[in-house]
Copies of this chain bind each other. A is one copy, B any other.
Amino acid sequence: MKETNKIGKYQFVVEPFHADFTGRLTIGVLGNHLLNCAGFHANERGFGMGTLNEANYTWVLSRLAIELNDMPRQYEDFTIWTWVENVYRLFTDRNFALLNKAGEKIGYARSVWAMINMETRKPADLMTMHNGSITEYVCDEPCPIDKPSRIKVTSTDPVSTMQAKYSDIDINQHVNSVRYIEHILDLFPLEMYETRHIRRFEIAYINESRYGDKLTLYKDDLADGEYDVEMRKEDGEVVCRSKIVSY
């Protein structure tokens, strides 16, 4: 297969309500676009949600790590590339590049996905799904950023508490993956975004949360603009962990 068909390329524009107060695309909206591109790419190649749902399987996002040198500005065009880097038995690594309006790469992202059976909630063997056809799309396009790390939060002092509301909930009755990113970024004061840029944003999705869940956020300040964040339910179950590195 030609390498060119292995990479999905999708163009967007920064809509006004998707830019933050500095005029740059928000990381939450970028996350939304990345996940959409994952869906477009997989659907176009026959292993997307549409095909899978019919067979009672669905993709589950486990980790996402984004690293940025710059962000497109309001009304600017930008492009996202996505491709599959590795396929293991129970996980696949999908990477992304973010290109500015001049076609220069200004960021990258790595993501880790599993496929589960929607009835049993058990993971599927990716090597046997569709006769392992996903492996035909593995591509060696470079993605020069670190893999998602192990995040460990030690703080026991809550920095914020929220309750999952209507706007947070997706069709699976869970808080949607993009909302977690927004709630985590909302922990930081506007002054942080005025004086610093987020160079790296990581999130690990551990357990689902649902409508009405009271979610508490804990934050470790690791100095030099690096923070680890954990979101927990009232019973202490961890929902997600995140690392933010600013400069």
Contacts and interface: CB of A to CB of B under 8 A. Distances in A.
Interface string A166-204: 110111110011100010011011100100000000000
A46 interface: no
A21 B211 contact: yes
Nearest to A212: B190
B166 A188 contact: yes
Given A17-B35, A19-B171, A21-B171, 13 more contacts: A15-B32, A16-B171, A17-B32, A17-B36, A17-B176, A20-B169, A21-B169, A21-B173, A22-B171, A165-B186, A166-B186, A166-B193, A169-B190
A19 B75 CA distance: 24
Interface string A94-105: 000000000000
A176 B36 CA distance: 23
Nearest to A31: B17
Contacts of A50: 75
Contacts of A39: 16
A193 B49 CA distance: 25
A23 interface: yes
A26 interface: yes
A28 interface: yes
Given A75-B50, A211-B190, A17 B166 contact: no
Contacts of A75: 50
Interface string A66-80: 000000001100000
Contact of A17 (B173, B178, B185): B178
Contacts of A21: 166, 169-173, 211
A178 B35 CA distance: 22
Nearest to A182: B167
